[in-house]
Amino acid sequence: MSSDDVAGYKRAAAARALEYIQPGMKVGLGTGSTADLFLELLAARIRNGLDITGTPTSERTAERARALHVPLADLNELERLDIVVDGADEADPELILIKGGGGALLREKIVAASADRMVVIADESKFTDRLGRFPLPVEVVHFGHVTTRTRIVNAAARLGYPRLTPVLRRASDGGIYRTDNGNCIYDCSFSEIRNAAALAAALSQITGVVEHGLFCGLASVLVLAGPGGVRVVERQRP
Ligand code: 5RP
């Protein structure tokens, strides 16, 4: 499958997600290449008269949205959102996600938790029966991050992942990658995550961990596009 094909699938998923947007909505704007395509399509609709207010999940998305003249407001002003549209690194049939490949997992999760509906857009290659092939990003405070890494390794071992080797994410200049919140990221290759809820709960309890990229119970709609067209997987939020 060529990169042009994948870009086309991402665009097709983004276009389908536009159907969930209604006038007057408060819309969370995701981060990543698929979310960028959605933003472009949304901006075109806004130019044709659609009235929505967006709130970005990253500085990068905020910059792009401003360049496209998408009306923005701070999440604190909007409080509750009608919907967020975002990409994912992996998604399973229960709509549990791995996110954070682009480093925006913390704000993405805050925005998703503030929205009535989370619509995830992706090409089919992101859909998997077993999460974990994509390394799980774990955002940690810079202070003492090496000690936090040890606590992550120990917690993983207690859950039956004895050989976890979290890798500190680097920026393109070779320095430590910093998120929009000034934190670091450890990318954790689990290979296969057997119980996402248990792992999510264990990671959330570790001192020094700010957030992790497992999104459990947040996504309500998954829009997947591939060679066979676009399909939608839905899940009711409890
Ligand atoms: C950013 C994310 C992205 O949604 C995820 O990495 C998918 O990106 P892309 O659409 O470029 O494949 O979680 O933090």
CATH label of the domain that carries residue 155: 3.30.70.260
pLDDT at site 237: 59
Separation of 91 CA from ligand 1 center, angstroms?
12
Residue nearest to atom 10 of ligand 1 (CA): 34
pLDDT at site 238: 58
Is residue 40 domain-shared with residue 97, that is, in the same domain?
A: yes
Is residue 31 domain-shared with residue 121, that is, in the same domain?
A: yes
Is residue 220 domain-shared with residue 201, that is, in the same domain?
A: no
Residue nearest to atom 5 of ligand 1 (CA): 88
Which residue out of 40, 89, 181, 212 has the highest number of ligand 1 atoms within 8 Å of its CB and is therefore the one to mutate?
Answer: 89
Q: Within its chain, how far is the Cα of 216 from the centroid?
A: 12
Q: What CATH code is carried by the domain that includes residue 9?
A: 3.40.50.1360
Q: Which H or E run includes 187? A: strand 184-188
Is residue 102 domain-shared with residue 143, that is, in the same domain?
A: no
Separation of 79 CA from ligand 1 center, angstroms?
24
Is residue 153 domain-shared with residue 62, that is, in the same domain?
A: no
Distance CA 211, CA 22 (A): 31
Residue carrying the six token digits 């792009």: 64
Is residue 46 domain-shared with residue 102, that is, in the same domain?
A: yes
Residue 117: partners with Cβ closer than 8 Å, 6 or more residues away: 20, 82, 83, 84, 220, 221, 237
Residue 216: partners with Cβ closer than 8 Å, 6 or more residues away: 96, 196, 197, 200
Is residue 121 domain-shared with residue 174, that is, in the same domain?
A: no
Distance CA 152, CA 105 (A): 17
CB 95 within 8 A of CB 233: yes
Is residue 11 domain-shared with residue 109, that is, in the same domain?
A: yes
Residue nearest to atom 8 of ligand 1 (CA): 32
pLDDT at site 100: 98
- Positions marked catalytic: 108
Is residue 207 domain-shared with residue 222, that is, in the same domain?
A: no
Regions of the chain short of the pLDDT cut 70:
236-238
Neighbouring CB atoms inside 10 A of 82's CB total: 18
Is residue 161 domain-shared with residue 228, that is, in the same domain?
A: no
Is residue 8 domain-shared with residue 108, that is, in the same domain?
A: yes
In terms of residue numbers, what domain contains 146? Answer: 136-211
The pTM assigned to this predicted structure is 0.96
Count up the domains in the chain and report the number. 2
Pocket of ligand 1 (CB under 6 A): 30-35, 86-89, 99-105, 108
Is residue 228 domain-shared with residue 188, that is, in the same domain?
A: no
Separation of 101 CA from ligand 1 center, angstroms?
5
Separation of 87 CA from ligand 1 center, angstroms?
5
Distance CA 127, CA 224 (A): 8
CA angle at 169 for the pair 174 and 173, rounded to the nearest 5°: 15
